[in-house]
């Protein structure tokens, strides 16, 4: 994921202003260490820090004449052909600013789910600022906020409008029957699309269902492809954890089964604590669960990049789409189950997408997430949610329809005990002592008196635990502006939809920890882990879905 910074219509075309834009752009250099540049047209500035994944030999920002092999180039062409209505034609991940020098108009857009990060700000001089991260604009803007995913901003109206309007967005209850093969082919297509690369790549493998399926599909497809010829036929997989952690053990088992070249990265609790300041600076949030999960990913990304790998495929998004979080066990009916999955997907850009994007981009590594492919989401969110409901008495555990779709007895994607393995929270999976160590560290740095005065010090999103208070202090040191604190969603309960969980079961009201650890006795005890089955499943042969080829456009700055 590249880094972009645009200053548009600032009424200052001086060399001093150009130097300031370049200075701010360098704050994003970690996102794009391969090339940097700036385009100036009067008082419009477009600066770019490039991470070269496609056509790494090309450098400059693309133009309509298709001067490079970069996938970014197609955006200028589509704009000239179709105007701003071309956005929905893009099938990929992107954040971009496009300046039309014919009339000095510009458009800004962000991908459907918000997999890339993007912010918009306004200056006192009437300028509009766009940046991949807060640190690019927070010092120079009067006000700034997160650019909403699936939206377009055009200078001609000075307003945002939603361009992404799938049928599921209204949260109406879908009725399409579950077809395991259709779901399987949709995910396979989503993974294959993300194997377009001209640089070394690998998969993040925790040993859980989502990352294991992505790794299995990737390994199957890799042989004989262009990427295999360039980088070798064996897939590289990566996992991080404390010594002896559940993830390390599970990932090794999956890696051995798939035959990947597996890399284990170990860290200690102290390593993680020492990195917290850097993590918060890069992730740009004070949300507790996000910081807990981002820290191991941040440390692992550095190791991965040191091996010469520039792109990884990851499993984010499946829990939101299929109701994989523990409190979904208590969903009272399919209507509420579906509506909660919709809300979770809509909030992904504030949590897991933000973590995956920024924790990897901190080291110039790109993470691709096939579960959040537009076409896959359309297929998965069109299924009657009755099939997603967790019914232990029928052997249906969380994400059962995804597991069943890949339960192939003739050519197994994964062993059954892995395919039906129960979910671990990411921050627990890297080692159970990780969260306990964070809490202990915060306890030693935040006093009871500090907590008593928390509502006066932090009246917005007041921290309710010492761990939350500790992270908030660090965040405010880096980003003291009111606009910055407003970019973080409210309260620790929001992170795991605890409000909905409490509505479904009052047992959650006594659980202040946002990860929901040990809540409701769901983990390991809500059902017999060995009772899962594939009986009574209507399976029909479905025709292969055609491979969908689209634009996998990374972040870019562009002029026509």
Binding residues for L-glutamine: 71
Catalytic-residue membership of 72: no
> 484: closest CA among 222, 121, 172?
121
CA distance 188 to 545: 10
Q: Which of these, 137, 154, 19, lies nearest to 84 by C-alpha position?
A: 154
**Pair 207, 252: CB distance under 8 Å:** yes
Q: Single out the catalytic residue among 2, 10, 239, 496.
A: 2
What does the DSSP assignment read for 312-335? EE--TTHHHHHT-SGGGGG--SHH
Tell me the binding residues for ATP. 204, 240, 314-315
Count Cβ atoms below 10 Å from residue 448 Cβ, excluding itself.
8
Among 403, 320, 409, 314, smallest CA distance to 365 is for 314
Residues annotated within the binding site are 71, 204, 240, 314-315
Residues 6+ apart with CB under 8 A from 246: 207, 424, 428, 429, 431, 432
Which residue's structure tokens are 């034609």? 89
Q: Would you list the DSSP string of 387-430?
A: GTS-BGGGTB-TTHHHHHHT--SSS-SS-HHHHTPPP--HHHHT
Question: What span, in angstroms and rounded, lies between the C-alpha atoms of 69 and 392?
Answer: 51
**167 CA to centre of own chain:** 22
Do 232 and 200 touch, CB atoms closer than 8 A? no
Active site residues: 2
């Amino acid at each position: 994921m590249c880094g972009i910074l645009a200053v548009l219509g600032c009424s200052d075309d001086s060399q001093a202003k150009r130097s300031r834009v370049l200075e701010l752009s360098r704050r994003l250099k970690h996102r794009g260490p391969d090339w940097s540049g700036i385009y100036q047209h009067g008082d419009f500035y477009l600066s770019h820090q490039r991470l070269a994944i496609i056509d790494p030999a090309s450098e400059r920002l693309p133009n309509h004449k298709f001067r490079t092999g970069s996938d970014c180039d197609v955006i200028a062409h589509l704009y000239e052909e179709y105007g701003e209505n071309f956005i929905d034609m893009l099938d990929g991940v992107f954040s971009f600013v496009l300046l039309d020098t014919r009339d000095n108009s510009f458009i800004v857009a962000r991908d459907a789910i918000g997999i890339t990060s993007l912010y918009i700000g306004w200056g006192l001089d009437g300028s509009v600022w766009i940046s991949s991260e807060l640190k690019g604009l927070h010092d120079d803007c009067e006000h700034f906020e997160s650019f909403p995913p699936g939206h377009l901003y055009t200078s001609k109206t000075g307003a945002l409008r939603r361009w992404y309007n799938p049928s599921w967005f209204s949260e109406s209850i879908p009725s399409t029957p579950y077809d395991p093969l259709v779901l399987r082919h949709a995910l396979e297509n989503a993974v294959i699309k993300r194997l377009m690369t001209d640089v070394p790549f690998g998969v993040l493998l925790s040993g859980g269902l989502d990352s294991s399926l992505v790794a299995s599909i990737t390994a199957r497809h890799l042989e004989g492809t262009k990427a295999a010829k360039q980088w070798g036929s064996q897939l590289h997989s990566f996992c991080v954890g404390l010594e002896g952690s559940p993830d390390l053990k599970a990932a090794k088992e999956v890696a051995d089964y798939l035959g990947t070249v597996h890399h284990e990265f170990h860290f200690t609790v102290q390593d993680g604590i020492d990195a917290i300041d850097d993590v918060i600076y890069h992730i740009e949030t004070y949300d507790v669960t996000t910081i807990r999960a981002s820290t191991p990913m941040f440390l692992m990304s550095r190791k991965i990049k040191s091996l010469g790998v520039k792109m990884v495929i990851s499993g984010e998004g499946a829990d939101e789409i299929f109701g994989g979080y523990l409190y979904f066990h208590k969903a009272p009916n399919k209507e509420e189950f579906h509506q909660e999955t919709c809300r979770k997907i809509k909030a992904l850009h504030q949590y897991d997408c933000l973590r995956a994007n920024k924790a990897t981009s901190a080291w110039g590594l790109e993470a691709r997430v096939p579960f959040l492919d537009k076409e896959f989401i359309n297929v998965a969110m069109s299924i009657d949610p009755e099939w997603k409901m967790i019914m232990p008495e029928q052997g249906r555990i969380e994400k059962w329809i995804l597991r069943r779709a890949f339960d192939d007895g003739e050519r197994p994607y994964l062993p059954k005990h892995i395919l039906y393995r129960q979910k671990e929270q990411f921050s627990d999976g890297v080692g159970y002592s990780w969260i306990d160590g964070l809490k202990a560290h915060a306890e030693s740095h935040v006093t009871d008196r500090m907590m008593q005065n928390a509502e006066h010090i932090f009246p917005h999103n007041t921290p309710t635990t010492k761990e939350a208070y500790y992270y908030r202090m660090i965040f405010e040191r880096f980003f003291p502006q009111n606009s910055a604190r407003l970019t973080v969603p409210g309260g620790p309960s929001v992170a795991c939809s605890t409000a909905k969980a409490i509505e479904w079961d009052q047992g959650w009201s006594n659980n202040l920890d946002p990860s929901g650890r040990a809540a409701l006795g769901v983990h390991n005890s809500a059902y017999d882990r060995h009772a899962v089955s594939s009986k009574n499943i209507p399976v029909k042969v479905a025709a292969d879905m055609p491979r969908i080829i689209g634009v996998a456009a990374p972040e870019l700055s562009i002029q026509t």
